[in-house]
Amino acid sequence: MKLIFATNNQHKVDEIQHIIGNKFDVISLKQAGIDIDIPEPHDTLEENAVEKSSTIYKLTDTDCFSEDTGLEVEALNGEPGVKSARYAGDVKDFNKNIEKLLFKLGNDNNRKARFRTVISLIINKEQHLFEGICEGEIISSPAGSNGFGYDSVFVPAGATRTFAEMTMEEKNTFSHRKKATEKLVLFLNKLNIR
């Protein structure tokens, strides 16, 4: 089964390919030779995920999936949430986003946060959504250099290190993306049996 993964974020491709292994043939936009910046104009992760998969489906007529992820910080009323990629400005900049996040949180004692991933799959002309959540907290200064995005300030519940201090395998034992992808794989496996 061949599936295009509608993302321009190579970190997401690496993480999801690692989870899926060779069970399915996952092709990134880059591998498919598609070079477009898919708009994410909506106010929810669900709508943006659907926008990305629908855009690529219309373009390729090939089964595909996409995902939208947000970091939801309790003390900031769920910010940066759906705006996670461009929190500090129109250009995607991981370091500036982290700076803004830590500045806005200041010395607040409530450091609770969660990553939420929504995967949108289009297969056999039908649309399906899968969600994965990872609870945790935001530390006061970045630690670690692995991963991407907000990984260096996020410690998942049950761990003592940030995602950026973990290997991809370790991150995947906790991660929002892993949980959503497992649901996707379960669904695809059931389809295969029919």
- The catalytic residues are 68
Please name which of 102, 100, 176 lies closest in space to residue 139, comparing C-alpha atoms: 102
127 vs 189 by CB, closer to ligand ITT: 127
33 vs 194 by CB, closer to ligand ITT: 33
Q: What's the rounded Cα separation, in Å, for the pair 43 and 114?
A: 18
Residue 41, H or E segment: none
Near ligand ITT by CB under 6 A: residue from 85, 129, 143, 159: 85
51 lies in the site for ligand ITT, by CB under 6 A: no
Near ligand ITT by CB under 6 A: residue from 63, 68, 72, 165: 68
Near ligand ITT by CB under 6 A: residue from 84, 120, 162, 172: 84
Residues whose CB is less than 8 angstroms from the CB of residue 53 and which lie 6 or more positions away in sequence, other chains included = 6, 64, 65, 66, 120, 121, 122, 127
By rule CB under 6 A, what string of x and - marks binding of each residue 164-193 to ligand ITT?
-------------x----------------
8 lies in the site for ligand ITT, by CB under 6 A: yes
Shortest-Cβ-distance residue relative to ligand ITT: 149
Write phi, then psi, for 137 (nearest 5 degrees): -145, 160
Near ligand ITT by CB under 6 A: residue from 73, 150, 179, 181: 150
116 lies in the site for ligand ITT, by CB under 6 A: no
72 lies in the site for ligand ITT, by CB under 6 A: no
142 lies in the site for ligand ITT, by CB under 6 A: no
Q: What's the rounded Cα separation, in Å, for the pair 53 and 123?
A: 10
- CB of 127 within 8 A of CB of 50? yes
* DSSP of 83-134: TGGGTTSSS--HHHHHHHHHHHHTT-S--EEEEEEEEEEEETTEEEEEEEEE
Q: What's the rounded Cα separation, in Å, for the pair 151 and 171?
A: 9
Binding stretches for ligand ITT (CB under 6 A): 7-9, 12, 40, 68-69, 71, 84-85, 92, 94, 97, 115, 147-151, 163, 177
